[in-house]
Amino acid sequence: MMPQPPASVPPDPDAEVPSPQTRQRKPLGAAALAAVLAGLSMLGPFSIDAYLPAFPNIQQSLGASPVEVQQSLTAYLLAFAGMVLWHGALSDAFGRRNVILVSLVTFCIGTIGCASAHSVHYLWFFRVVQGVSAGAGVVVGRAIIRDLYADAAAARLLSLVTMIFSIAPAVAPVLGGLIVKYSDWRSIFLFLVGYTVLLFAVCYRRLPETLPPHKRQPFNPVFLWRNYRDILSSPLFHLKTGVVALNFCGLFVYITAAPVALPGQLHLGPDEFAWLFVPAVSGIFLGALAANRIAGKWSFARQIRFGFGFLLSAATVNVGYHLFFPPAVPWSTLPIFFYTFGMSVVAPGATLLALDLFPHIRGTVASCQSFAVTVLAAIIAGVIAPALSDSFLWLACAQLFFTVTALGLWLTSRVVRRMLTPQ
């Protein structure tokens, strides 16, 4: 049975009168809106996971070293992290829809450049162009959800977006491996071009503007400085954002190590990456489904405790297995299913709790959240995963470390919250 669409918040009596253009745009229902926002969020996984199986082909085609090709991922992630800090502020000032449309055009240009790159240095440059634009969908999408929905309804819609979005990390590497097997690596980026054009057409025709002009914030240095200062000086923001970021790092260390670890440790070919990605994405999907069903029935605190039970159990079993047995399928990848299940249960509540710390600038808060996640992901892709990718035991230990640290941040945030709440 499909999840029931969440009920929306009653219309704001102070909202602007829609323009004729807005009135002509048929409003999206909750399920359709979730599909569009999930589609926008998929740009990131497609940009990362789809071309991982093509690394050897890119090396050969461009005459590059393995490290140089790996740096194309690092360049993308650093650009993503740098720009994701601004997508939310831009959407707070100029509107959600406008930022998404401009970002899609920019991403399309960068993707065409990647497909036509004749050297690894050109590939780096156009991966940066992709990176500065790919994050708008996930950042602005969170703000759109919070513009339209509140509390349990927002949590249900966010988990529904996650369920649909979870298809991408499973499909992307498998699709990339098949494309490389039967065509070449450039076709992966051409596929992304077609996907982006389709997204632009849908968003241009159907995506609503959820932030009316009278609620927009000025885009000037003084105002921006005050907003970022307030957010980044908030202990609760860092603690709650760190919960989501570190749990994600426990998965991402496996994703970025896959091009080396799967062939080297598990002896899998480019078209067999599904051994890792299908369990990971199945857990994400089912965890998001569980979060959708318990939203409004459990408190966020109870939901997060439940999710951490799966996270810690999976990470501990993963380390225990590799202490005594050599890497093998499916045992080396099966714990990832339970890990991502817990991750998806924790994420909606922790994300919304951080957004609600500053309700008047949710777009900027969403940017700061994504910035934290992406900076850590870039460090993992550029430093940690290459150092650990020759050992599944070390990858499992890293996952357990990230999870324990995330739990520590969550427990600390509870204490800080109680200290800051007036008696």
At 203-224, the pLDDT tens digits run: 998 888 888 888 887 777 888 8
**Structure confidence by residue, pLDDT tens digits, 55-75:** 888 988 898 888 888 888 888
pTM score of the predicted model: 0.70
CA dihedral of 129, 135, 141, 147, whole degrees rounded to 10: -90
Q: Is the pLDDT of residue 90 over 60?
A: yes
Q: What is the mean pLDDT of residues 133-157?
A: 82
Q: How confident is the model at residue 26 (pLDDT cuts 50, 70, 90)?
A: low
The three-point CA angle 131-353-318 to 5° equals 70
Q: What is the mean pLDDT of the chain?
A: 84
Work out the end-to-end distance of the chain between its first and last CA atoms, rounded to an integer number of angstroms: 44
In the block, tokens 């598990």 appear at 266
Give 23's pLDDT tier (boundaries 50, 70, 90). very low
Q: Report the distance separating Cα 419 and Cα 119, nearest Å.
A: 56
Under DSSP, the state recorded for 405 is: H
**Which tokens belong to 136?**
């708008």
**Tokens linked to 30:** 């909750």
Name the token pair of 421.
Answer: 């709440």
What percent of the chain has pLDDT above 90? 30
Question: Radius of gyration over alpha carbons of the chain, in Å?
Answer: 21
How many angstroms separate the CA atoms of 65 and 49, rounded? Answer: 19
Domains of the chain: 27-420 (1.20.1250.20)
